[in-house]
Structure 1
């Protein structure tokens, strides 16, 4: 979904975390004892999260065993590329630049289609994903940020621990990000609520599609299973870790040609640009979050912006927030 062109912020001002006013940018984050303690569902949450993270890697091992001494079928590669592109753009164009930041306004079928595609990435339902990401922008790299690599300080040991936390550890903390505060516009949207409720079914669908396609193409269970492994689990694992790398690497390694808020260390990290569909031009994004284009300098490839441009020309999106030269220049360091 694309939220309105005014990109509504969370309801009310961001709630400051404990001791956030005293944070100096180097010390470990203070313990947040405002988070409710949930005893009943913590084990189930950890089990489900672990399955989503670990199963794709186990599938890779199984794929290696099944394909020992043989080649991957060309259909597996094509299916993996196709589904990676569709689901990846669902996250970048749909969840991120549209739903979270209101970089454009989409017609209803496109808004729903992008939300469905993003849900099939195995990264969460659209409402939860958007709420978490808006919270990340409200407290970037300071207490309250759900996945900052500076959580444990800036010394070497703390930084290494923080990278693990920002990349994958935060998923297991079960910190609550209230959608009523950070995504009230999506809670009020019946279409997005429906897509969010369908998230478990869409996770099944994103695996059933390559399995069925492999069976149809090869006519045997072996073709179906290898398609499931490579175009299903391996594709999901790669996209997950590319997305999580933007959370971790793109706040530690790279260049910072644009000014961001105090403590915000978002960087541009070019090696991830193509795999992330332009999301790794992260410094500009944090300098100008509502911009529909993140790669604004010469040679900075941004496939997500190209897709938004195509949708605009087709008349399927409007009110696109393209960066202007003056706006870019004003944010240069």
Structure 2
């Protein structure tokens, strides 16, 4: 019973699918070298001419060591404990499969659809596209975009020079874009750490859990329901944050050089930074969401939007858990989240609005 398959080809168009029986079936226009040893088979063709190869592998196969110098490859409906895939030049497509996939593509696109398992993807030059993938692992792309649609899991994503885009994603993701933008839309309880060296970060729609955004140069825009948000722009860039009108939040917004404009009532407190900077704090609703925003050079705008009907959220205020605003301020002071001056300013604001 074959459990381990090794494939070595120089130039070919390869299709790998399940076998209808318990044996390995190889279909090619030229004879390939096949060596069987125990539960392992090695399939090899060392000529440079381009060939078409179809491999049908039985369900007993657990390990696939695939090496192709040049040409596209497609893997469909396979369940593999360990798949090591190396492709020098060409596109790779993996569909309706499960298992552990270690993928290395020098120049070409990587597409994975309807996959469940662990992944380690390394692409030198090309687009990485994941659709309906539930996986844990790493994605690295030197020069090309990384695109995720309806994906779940825990992923560490790195793009050297290219954009990172996600829609309908959930789970925990840490994304790093050296020179490119980061965009996530319609997220489903996504916990996100987003880092951009030179490019904008934009998170719009859906529900976000804990979110951290760090940027060297570039703007950060967040418009969604979220549990916690921290934004830090190290050099230059504006921050735009919009939260639902029904969401309570405690907000701290500071800029070393720029303005802070807010639809919500915030008060300016002593700013330990440069004289041209501003630091504002305040709260709305039950203050359950923590929002901390800072940019070195740039403006900060805060607003609210009416959330569409049908959003599945838990409103703490509707459950009778909201606290008196004064008690909240004193509690934050006691826990060390506010200084005495900040607490005094917030209490004074409450008196003025009473």
For the criterion TM > 0.5, the same-fold answer is: no
TM-score normalised to structure 2 length: 0.20
| TM-score, L = length of structure 1 | 0.20
